[in-house]
A and B are shown apart, each in its own frame.
Chain A
């Protein structure tokens, strides 16, 4: 059995604590660098000040599976198994949460998951209107009506086939 030395505690913005294997947590660059900075200290709690508990849980779930699958499929087939898992993982996350998750993953600096979430968001918005995407990301339109019309005119065909449902 793994000793407690191989564990780390991640604390969410609400103060909720998650005990995680080092093998899993080391995929989060921010955790790695915090632990390196206080090497030798017995205190193995990392506060993730801006990350909500539900996102901490999601990120842990992803990397737990990532680590397990990697071990299990050392001989090959890891990539396909990971893809399968990723599909299932993304199915349980709603569109609003994807946005929160990408911010959290970005903060924790976890490249593999960042890529997965960015791809999922890209897929979600690819057929959406400009208005939907502005609203989705909370971006304020700073173009004047004339400026916007001019840019739209450049690629009018790109506005066909938009579906906001």
Chain B
């Protein structure tokens, strides 16, 4: 029997099919027809495509993103290069799939504030500039910056995707220079949907680490707080921000955190937060070593335990963990390294890197409909 021709394929079937195709293919198919272009660029299809990518992520091996940041004069690697697979890191002169070039900015002082739904939020600290970048569709947006008086104050930021409103949000805490036991002067919240900042209530917290970690609907920084203290004294704590209620809170650090620091032989230089697998983790930089702690049960102080203890000779700055066993970090002389603490082996080294970031990666159309 002859194949009966299909004259017309209903749009909802086409949507279901294209929601499962890679972002690059979907962009190409915008010019199939007017109706295709209309649905592909609609918010509902973009979310459908994200949902399919998330479902696919759960069935395949968690694809990992490693973002390397390089001096902006590097012609092949650009400001940032996204390595899709760990193996790609090993190929030095390949044509990279995702690079970000902007000659107008230097990347000497940069932090990655996080990534959600395939959108990476970069903060160019010495330019007071924040961008949202979706490498899968090669699109980036510059976020208008909140006003800060750099001579008297400094700021800390955080980034997340709000599921309830389908919106990308950024928080800025403006803190006075000097006193570490002082609440932020202002707390500002940016919403991409409205493309504007608004003020929210401040709280007795002070943030003392860079980019926060996002887990269980909360942003986490290392800092000071007197929210949870019974005698209203400022204590070293994990400062958290509940993104749905827009309120601050705190959590205890590992027991004995402060007494450790009194040991004169070992000096703690700084502390930062990470997410390790699905666990909240704390990175402590000591004069000779790096300790990584994890909170095995979220919110339970007793469950903090030391996970890795790495000599500074092997890693100086930790940027993330890849499948728990490999630590991505920076060594002296700007070498990006992937280190396996269990076997004490260095899996790879990349020269001339400034910064890196490791997280789950998702191929999505996020930001396609945003200007």
Residues of A near any B CB (own CB < 8 A): 52, 96-97, 99-100, 102-103, 106, 114, 118-119, 121-123, 125-127, 129-130, 133-134, 137-143, 148, 151-152, 154-155, 157-159, 162
Contacts and interface: CB of A to CB of B under 8 A. Distances in A.
Interface in B20-75: 20-22, 24-25, 27-34, 36-37
A24 to B, nearest CB: 23
B172 to A, nearest CB: 32
Interface of B: 1, 3-10, 13-14, 16-22, 24-25, 27-34, 36-37, 137-138
B6 A137 contact: yes
Contacts of B6: 99-100, 103, 137-138
A126 B19 CA distance: 11
A139 B24 contact: no
A114 B17 CA distance: 9
A118 B27 contact: no
Nearest to A160: B24
B4 A100 contact: yes
B17 A121 contact: yes
Contacts of A100: 3-4, 6
Nearest to B10: A106
A137 B7 CA distance: 8
Contacts of A52: 1, 4
**Interface residue SS majority, chain A:** helix
Given A126-B25, A155-B138, A139 B17 contact: no
Contact of B32 (A102, A121, A133, A155): A133
A127 B3 contact: no
B9 A103 contact: yes
Nearest to A151: B31
Contacts of A158: 24-25, 27-28
B31 A96 contact: no
Given A52-B1, A141-B33, 15 more contacts: A97-B3, A106-B13, A118-B13, A119-B20, A121-B17, A123-B20, A126-B21, A126-B25, A133-B29, A134-B33, A137-B9, A138-B5, A140-B33, A143-B34, A154-B30
Contacts of A138: 5-9
B31 A130 contact: yes
Given A103-B6, A122-B18, A139 B36 contact: yes
Contact of A155 (B1, B4, B9, B28): B28
B245 to A, nearest CB: 35
A142 B36 CA distance: 10
Nearest to A99: B6
A139 B39 CA distance: 15
Given A137-B9, A139-B9, A157-B138, A118 B20 contact: yes
Contacts of A157: 24, 138
B33 A155 contact: no
Contact of A139 (B3, B16, B33): B33
A-B residue pairs, 3 tightest by C-beta? A122-B20, A122-B21, A158-B27
A148 B34 CA distance: 9
A162 B137 CA distance: 17
Nearest to B9: A137
Nearest to B5: A138
Given A114-B16, A141-B32, A99 B9 contact: yes
Contacts of A114: 16
A158 B5 CA distance: 29
Contacts of A133: 29, 32
A160 to B, nearest CB: 9
Contacts of A97: 3
19 contacts: A52-B4, A106-B10, A106-B13, A118-B19, A119-B20, A127-B25, A130-B31, A130-B32, A133-B29, A137-B9, A137-B14, A139-B9, A141-B33, A152-B31, A154-B30, A155-B137, A157-B138, A158-B24, A158-B28
